[in-house]
Structure 1
Amino acid sequence: MAQHGIQEHSHGIPIQTRSQRPQSTSVSDFPEVSKLQEIWRYIPQDLLRGLDQEVMGELSEAEIEISLAEGVTSRYVDSTDELVGKAGIPEDRVAAAAWTNASKTLIIEIPAEAEIQGPSFIRIDPKSQDAKAVHIVISAGRHSSATIVLDHSGLGVLGENVEILAGDSSNLNVITIQEWDKGSSHVSSQFAKLGRDAKLKHVVVSLGGDLVRITPAVSLSSPGAEINMFGVYLADSGNYFEHRPFVDHIAENCVSNVAYKGALQGRGAHTVWVGDVLIRETAEGTSTYELNRNLLLTDGARADSVPNLEIETGKIIGAGHASASGRFDDEQLFYLQARGISEHEARRLVVRGFLHEIIQKVGVEEIENRLMAAVEQELEKVRS
């Protein structure tokens, strides 16, 4: 495996921003996970279940079901392959452990100029609580278009690295679904690098699992690239969901939009959203906006929301962020109840509409229907 040594911050001062974090594929380059570190400050460490250790198992090919649309191909390569690491390398201990322990990498390829009809599915079901690692690279050729779905379900403890390479003028949709059973833990680091005028839609859906932590990082290093990052999550009692999207604006005239919405119910339900956007001095003409909204359905649920925006040049089109967490809008409930709708049904309608705004961004009808059905099932538990 190609080894990447740690990249140190050269001034000897504490790391303040996401872009300054050390990066390495070696577990020993990172300290033990501790709540004293900002990146782990919220996480229940006991739920990592071995994902932060140097030695773990590797997901077998039998635990990955691949169903590809016509024109898309897959292959396994040694993780020393030159394609591995092109989109990014780990910036935390868990990602480094998964990187080290995945000796094989699954490559999903969309040929140049190909306009792929229909979604391609990679379904992952580890079938045990043994800590396992997996590495996936999604590579879209220039002027191609496709939709790739990473579908996680069942019972598992999974450390995952996903690399996304979007070629010049490509149009790629990547959807990652976390619908784990109780007893599961999933930590996924996802790195994307976009070519000139490339467009990537990245959708994260988290609906189940004791611990789900998704950290998508996007490098806009070529002019004219555009990233749209959407997330939707519904946390119940016993769920800890953490999402940390990062957009690094490097090249000029790039666009990024980030919108995550979540609903929480049940005592102990906890979600964390930390959104980072960096606009470098070279990124003139940038347009960016990030948003996170959380709806607290019951007492005892907790949502932490932290938007961060760092701007190094004033020559941009626009930049902004918004974050809010709260209970139901009393005026909305009153409006619905005044029309003969029960309070319980009114609450369900409000939550359904709140989450559907993001679910419809998926753009794949069968997945949207499945997600709305899962939301409906969860909302049956909602009580005032």
Structure 2
Amino acid sequence: MTAPTQAPELAPQTNAHIDPAAQVADAGFVPVQTRSERPRSFDPEEFGAPTGREVNWKHTPVAQLKPLFEIASANDGVTYTVSHEQYLRPALAHGATPRGEFFVPEDVVAAVAWQGTSDAMHLSIPNDEEVAEPIVVQIDGQGGRADAHLVIEAGRHSVSTVILRHTGTAQYAQNLEIIVRDGAKLKLVTVQQWEDDAIHASAHQARVDRDAELTHIVVSFGGGIVRVNPSVELSGTGSHGYLYGLSFADAGQHLESQVYLHHKGAHTTGDVLYKGALKGASARSVWIGDVLIGPDAVGTDSYEANRNLVLTEGARADSIPNLEIETGDIAGAGHASATGRFDDEQLFYLQARGIREEEARRLVVLGFLTEVVQRIGVPSVQDELLVAIEAELAGVDE
């Protein structure tokens, strides 16, 4: 499968549309509201700078992301270290496969990252190889601007885990292109533990082929603005996609994920679960979940859920699940969303057994978030995240 060499042309600008991103040739005057209909282009100018009125930007602090709307001049804002260099392949220039085999930008930041990356990192797992230890890509912010396009390719019937760790500070526009070939199993964990002033916007696009499996996990604790948007296409018959997320937003943080799961092949299975906790008067999280079950995706079984726990006054969580079904022959499909405060009954149960209120609250939050932590399946990462959650909780009442 080869991505188109040219993205759809955008129609002339007009004030007749609520959503400027909807101005696609021959689209009429109906604003784009579904994820599958968004225009795509490799050229940042085709999108223009977001105004905040667009459907995919209206929950995002657009003004603060402005540095990412232009290609980085020096592109020296981050450094990369790979734990298992034997899986690194020669960097991919524009036009070199598999770069662009599936990925096509759907917003201006992704187009900037595409054009601003002359040589894309290519991490490839050979066919039939089972990698015992996680492959860790350490991404350290050096305080400047950076664009990146990374390609992760899991060869046929391979088994591997890749962890992306983000630390330091940077203004970082990042693309991640993931290709999971027939029968492969790939677990991808991206951990954002930036400093408080970091800005990170990332587009993840993945294709999962026949009988293959992708587990995709987003963990966001650090950073001023972190926007990680995964898009997964279950293209092959019998493919599986498990999309999990965990976030803990403090005062002044904006943590966002717009998740898209496209069931394209027959008898595919999808499970989406994102959980977040928020503390601080200006803590903000945004989760938008879109699931599309296409006309050929017979026998699909899919479910998406988002749960948020608000720990202090003034914190805000936006949660918007969407489900489109284009065939009547499915095994099951559903979605759920819930945002609330502590469960009084849980607190009462714990306090009735002699546990102090402060400790009871800590246990409730840990229990709430641990469900996602346990799905990571990498003990060292799980232990690290539990420590990070404890550190976050230590400041809840400050």
For the 8 Å contact 2:227–2:256, the answer to whether it is kept is yes
What letter corresponds to residue 178 of structure 1 in structure 2?
Q
What letter corresponds to residue 104 of structure 2 in structure 1?
I
In the other structure, the counterpart of 2:67 is: 50
2:52 maps to 1:35: yes
Give the counterpart of 2:122 among 95, 102, 107. Answer: 107
What letter corresponds to residue 64 of structure 2 in structure 1?
L
Q: CA deviation at 1:342?
A: 1.1
In the other structure, the counterpart of 1:124 is: 139
For the 8 Å contact 2:71–2:147, the answer to whether it is kept is no
Output the TM-score relative to the length of structure 1: 0.96
- Cα distance 1:348–1:17, how it changes in 2: closer, same or farther (>3 A)? same
In the other structure, the counterpart of 1:327 is: 341
| SS of residue in 1 equivalent to 2:241 | strand
For the 8 Å contact 1:275–1:306, the answer to whether it is kept is yes
Aligned mates of 2:209, 2:387 — CA distance in 1:
36
What letter corresponds to residue 65 of structure 2 in structure 1?
L
What letter corresponds to residue 233 of structure 1 in structure 2?
S
Output the TM-score relative to the length of structure 2: 0.92
Q: CA deviation at 1:73?
A: 3.3
- CA shift digits 1:268-287 (9 cap, x unpaired): 00000000000111111111
| SS of residue in 2 equivalent to 1:341 | coil
In the other structure, the counterpart of 2:198 is: 184
2:358 maps to 1:344: yes
Aligned mates of 1:59, 1:162 — CA distance in 2:
18
Aligned mates of 2:41, 2:231 — CA distance in 1:
15
Q: CA deviation at 1:59?
A: 4.5
What percentage of aligned pairs have identical amino acids?
Answer: 43
Aligned mates of 2:273, 2:162 — CA distance in 1:
20
What letter corresponds to residue 324 of structure 2 in structure 1?
E
Query: RMSD over aligned Cα, in angstroms?
Result: 1.7
In the other structure, the counterpart of 2:19 is: none
Aligned mates of 2:270, 2:26 — CA distance in 1:
29
| SS of residue in 1 equivalent to 2:131 | strand
For the 8 Å contact 1:59–1:126, the answer to whether it is kept is no
Q: CA deviation at 1:55?
A: 4.8
In the other structure, the counterpart of 2:389 is: 375
In the other structure, the counterpart of 2:150 is: 136
In the other structure, the counterpart of 1:158 is: 172
Structure 1 gap segments, 5+ residues each: none
Q: CA deviation at 1:49?
A: 4.5
What letter corresponds to residue 16 of structure 1 in structure 2?
Q
Aligned mates of 1:50, 1:33 — CA distance in 2:
12
In the other structure, the counterpart of 1:6 is: 8
Aligned mates of 1:141, 1:319 — CA distance in 2:
30
Give the counterpart of 2:97 among 78, 82, 85. Answer: 82
For the 8 Å contact 2:33–2:55, the answer to whether it is kept is no
Aligned mates of 2:117, 2:71 — CA distance in 1:
12
Give the counterpart of 1:247 among 241, 261, 266. Answer: 261
Aligned mates of 1:312, 1:152 — CA distance in 2:
38
- Cα distance 1:239–1:160, how it changes in 2: closer, same or farther (>3 A)? same
In the other structure, the counterpart of 1:67 is: 83
